[in-house]
Structure 1
Amino acid sequence: MSTDLRTRILEIIAEQAMLDPAELKLEASPQDLGIDSLGLVESIFAIEEAFDITIPFNANEPENSDFDISTLGSIVTAVEKLVAAKG
């Protein structure tokens, strides 16, 4: 998938974490970056808006969602698949 897409996803997440995107590692979890549940939901909304997609994420039961939020890499991969499917 395009580097631009990955870069934009990481920029959105970095903005929520108030970090420089260059500091993000794909193996890091949102919790590793200090992103709480509200920050995660805000990141997901921002990603949905940026790419005009719907992410299958249940904020009330994130562990039961069809969207893997365990690491930044898994988030990027899942968003890339949703964008490709839309395409």
Structure 2
Amino acid sequence: MNSPTFNSIAAILQSEFHLEASQIHADAALIDLGLDSLALMEFVFAVEDAFRLRIPEDRLDPREAGITLQRLCEVIDDMQYAPAQRGVSLAAAA
């Protein structure tokens, strides 16, 4: 996957969470990135801040098994085209 959204998320994972590029691919599940629960929530905050949005938990719960980076990109892209759907931060709900 080579979209601007994915590239931004990959940059966050590399710079702020010190993941290797080889670990970052579209079908990588968030839970399998090697981030503990606190780091996972910090990652969600970082992504939300980078894209200036808050992802409602009903759109994407990072604690849910199987949520992939591709799904995260899809949610972000959908929200960028429908700003009225922006809601409470996932991390705030945890």
Aligned CA RMSD, in angstroms, stands at 2.4
Question: What TM-score, normalized by structure 2, do the two folds share?
Answer: 0.66
Deviation digits for residues 22-75 of structure 1 (CA, Å, limit 9, x no counterpart): 541111112222012211111111111111111113xxxxxxx43154111111
- Per the alignment, residue 41 of structure 2 pairs with 41
Find the aligned partners of 1:34 and 1:40 in 2 and give their Cα distance: 9
Structure 2 unmatched runs, 5+: 84-94
Find the aligned partners of 1:83 and 1:49 in 2 and give their Cα distance: 13
Q: What letter corresponds to residue 33 of structure 1 in structure 2?
A: L
Structure 1 unmatched runs, 5+: 58-64
Aligned residue pair count: 79
Q: Tell me if structure 2 keeps the 8 A contact 1:30–1:72.
A: yes
Map 1:24-35 → 2, pairs under 5 A = 24-35=24-35
- Per the alignment, residue 18 of structure 1 pairs with 18
Find the aligned partners of 2:8 and 2:73 in 1 and give their Cα distance: 10
Q: Give how far 1:3 is off.
A: 2.1
Q: Tell me if structure 1 keeps the 8 A contact 2:59–2:75.
A: no
C-alpha distance 15-30 of structure 1, shift in aligned 2 (>3 A): farther
Q: Tell me if structure 1 keeps the 8 A contact 2:6–2:69.
A: no
